[in-house]
Structure formats: C-alpha cells, structure tokens
Amino acid sequence: MGLFLANECARRGMRYRVIEMRAGQSEYSKALAIFPRTLEVFNMSGLVQPFLRIGNRVDSVAFMTREETLARMAFEPEGTPYPFVAMVPQDVTEKILVAELRRRGGEVEYETTFISAAEHDGYVSATLERRGERVQVTAKFLVGCDGAHSAVRHLLHLPFEGGQYDGAFMLADVDTNEVLPANELHLCPSEFGPLAIFPMSATRRRLVATVDVMGDGAPSLELVREVVAQRAPAGFEAQGLHWSSYFRIHHRHVGRMHVGRIFIAGDAAHIHSPFGGQGMNTGLQDVWNLCWKLQLAVSGRGSQELLESYSAERCPVIKGVIETTHRITQAMGTKSSLAQAIRRTVIPLLSHVSAFERGFVENLSELGIAYSGSPIVEGGGARFWDDSLGGGQNIKDRFLLFVPLDANDSIRKRAAAFRDSFPDLLELRYARTVHLTLVRPDGYTACGGKASDSARVLESMYQLMTRQARS
C-alpha cells in the first residue's frame, strides 16, 4: 500500500518519504487478483497499462467437484472498461509500482524501520532507525502501511478486533497441464475440504486448500499432488512447485483508521480470509480514498471533517469485505457430509438466480462500493465512471461537475457560477447524462440531482463543498 501511496503523492506533486524495513521488495507472489474497480483506480492514477499487459484475464468462475461442474458464473461486470479480473502476482505488482515510482522521480528508502511517532501542533515527528542509527523526521501527516503487525496501529492503541478461523491452509504456486481453461477460476468444495484454483497463466496455477495439520517447513509437491488428487477436477495435474506455504487465517479490523494526523491503511487496518482475493484490493482503495483528502489538507484546503471521513467511509466497506470473505470461506470450508449435500444442491440453484450472480460479481469486483451515509456525501455516494477520468492526468485534487450536454443556457450559467465559487477546486465537464453530478477526486459521487432542478441541486453541492474544502 505504501508503494501505491508514494506513487499517488508523486503524481499529485506532494512531498513525501516512503520507508521499508527490508532491504528490497518481497519476492513472494501473495496477492494475485486485481479486480475491476482497482483497475479503474489504476487507470485514474496512470498505472493501468502494465497490469493490462501482464495480467492473465479471468472472466468466469466455476464451482467444480472431482466429477462434475456444479455451477459456472460469468464474471463480466457491466459498465466498466475492465469486465474481468487481472491475475498479477504481488511481487510483479510491487516491481511495477517501484519502477513507476522511479519514473516519477521517487525512491523507496530501504533498511529503514519506523520506531515511533508523536503528534505536535500541526505536524508529526517520527523516529526511524536506519542501519543501527536513529533518525528524526517531521511531516504534516504519517500513514502506516506497515502490514498486519503494524507498529503504527500499536502506537495509536487501536484494537484489532476479530478472531482466527479454525483450521490451517496451504498455498502452492504450481506448473500444471492445460486441462482447465486459463480464463476461469475454480472453487472446488469436497469432503476433504475446499480447494481454490487461481489461474496465473495457461500452465501455472495458485492453489489454496485447507489441511488437517501444518507440517514442518513448506508443503511439498507430493502433498500438493495428494490434495489435487482428492479435490481437483479429474485430469488436472500439478507438475512442478514454485512456492508453497502453510498459513492460518484471521479476520480482524480496527474501529477507526486514524488518530489526529496519523493514519493506517491496508493490512495494518484489516485482515481477512484470502477466499475472495480482496485483501490487497481493499488496501489499495483505502489509499485511494485517503490521498486526495491528504492532498487538500496539505495544501491548506481540506477541512477536519474531510480527514475524519476517511475512517467513516472505509470502516463500513471493510466490514462488508470481511462479511463477504467470511461467507465464501464458510461455504467452501466445512467437511461435514450434510454441508456437502447442501452445497451440491444450493450452489447450482443459486448460480441460476441472476440477482445472486449480479450480487456476487458486484461484491467481488468492488464496483458496488458506495459511500452512502458518509458525512461528506449527499445521496448514494456511488462510483462514477467516465473515460474522461482516466489516464493519470484527468482526476487529482479537483471535484468535477458533470452537466448534461443538452442543458439549457440557464443551467449552464448556474453551473458556471458554481464553478467560479471554487476556481481551484472545481472543474466543469459536459457529458451524456440527465443529471447534474458532483464527482469527488476519487471518482465517487458526492451529490447529484436532476438538471431540471438545478437551483436546488447546485445549492446542495455548494453547501457540501464549503464544508469540506476551500479554494
């Protein structure tokens, strides 16, 4: 998350430092799935091209046992330029982000550990340790993207509430034959426990499965083959092993994501089951939600309420992610024969209900995330996508007012007068829409309404903007 935040700071022309206690980036492939909303976010931040080039595209999910296909669902969400999941190993994602950061003139400070920090009037001072030496730095804000064991979270005394799932899991990245299509993700419930098969390419897969005991060291190819023989669709073979690991799963989250000028994002604030592949995606969206607010605050244009809205908006989303991944884990996870029987009948039935399929796709794609109920949003707070937002230069610290192309002169004049009240903060754009829509710098709707009611709608927008930002 720190790498993405650093990239965003660089793109926005902010001064920043990004530190990492290790000597380099991790070589582990960990998170694989990059969902459509994350691709849209990468597009808005000017990063999407390498992910589109490298990612293996998945647009189908199949529930399969050894003998039969229980159900198959298209993963093709509508209304997005990216109706698929891009499978990119996390070490590759990190390499792309480091390369892009360098291209933008930035550098990660490796072998530098965060030790502690204190907030003062208007700034934060932090103690770092670099190769045995203590260093003091000051900044207007500090963001802890320091993972599940976050020192920043501990410093803020934020309880990490939740628990641990029973049972242990194994993960393996393996070479395979080509029996299964590369564009399909396979979820395989079985009486031995579940197996999930994520396609990294036509001949490489990530396997995640429950195991009865965690052995010493990493799972061997023999064990992986045993699991495959028990649970995978017939004919599928694991031929070579690249990386494997045992792990246990926790589901935990904080109740708030900042104290004063110190924030946390990513695994520092929430961890959950990997079934659903939401961890990294959710963390990236924490950062996306936060960075425009920090930018306005750093330049003296953001209100306290704007900064407070980070926790208010992200905590409900995170709870939703934990619930979704919990349901998937429960549905996949139990071995009892009753549960098996229910799964065999319920999964095929549900997958034929289009509302279920739509909900499943919308949830996992993260396109359905909305900030309704936020103190800085009026209405549903839904995602807004328009090609004019993409490319890296088109949305940064400005709100956008979208006006219907066919709006009459009086509406256009009112909209222009509204824009002139916030000269550095608001841009007017015309689009094929029937609504006046105020879009935040992260591509979510702040407020909207019928153009025919423009006086009232623009007044609401004015009130909303004056509460959170000044030009």
Footprint of ligand FAD on residues 17-56 (CB under 6 A)?
19-22, 30-33
Q: Which of 7, 45, 90, 93 forms a contact with ligand FAD (CB under 6 A)?
A: 90
Q: Is 14 in the site for ligand FAD (CB under 6 A)?
A: no
In whole angstroms, how close is the CB of 1 to ligand FAD at the nearest point?
4
Q: Which of 89, 189, 193, 274 forms a contact with ligand FAD (CB under 6 A)?
A: 274
In whole angstroms, how close is the CB of 174 to ligand FAD at the nearest point?
14
**Residue number with CB closer to ligand FAD (152 or 331):** 152
Footprint of ligand FAD on residues 283-312 (CB under 6 A)?
283
- DSSP structure string for 105-138: T---B-SEEEEEEEEETTEEEEEEEETTEEEEEE
- DSSP structure string for 279-334: HHHHHHHHHHHHHHHHHHHHTT-B-HHHHHHHHHHHHHHHHHHHHHHHHHHHHHH-
Sign of the CA dihedral 360, 361, 364, 368? negative
Q: Which stretch binds ligand FAD (CB under 6 A): 57-65, 273-281, 354-362, 448-456?
A: 273-281
94 near 2, Cβ under 8 Å? no
Q: Is 366 in the site for ligand FAD (CB under 6 A)?
A: no
Helix H or strand E encompassing 98:
helix 90-103
Nearest residue to 152 (alpha-carbon basis) of 17, 251, 254: 254
User: How far apart (Å, rounded) are the C-alpha atoms in residues 279 and 389?
Assistant: 25
336: left (phi over 0), alpha (psi -120 to 50) or beta: beta
Sign of the CA dihedral 9, 14, 19, 24? positive
Site string for ligand FAD, 231-270 (x = CB under 6 A): ----------------x------------------xxx--
Q: Which of 278, 285, 325, 454 forms a contact with ligand FAD (CB under 6 A)?
A: 278
Q: Is 275 in the site for ligand FAD (CB under 6 A)?
A: no
Q: Considering CB under 6 A, how many residues would be counted as binding ligand FAD?
A: 29
Q: Is 277 in the site for ligand FAD (CB under 6 A)?
A: yes
Site of interaction with ligand FAD (CB under 6 A): 1-2, 19-22, 30-33, 90, 113-114, 145-147, 151, 171, 247, 266-268, 274, 277-281, 283
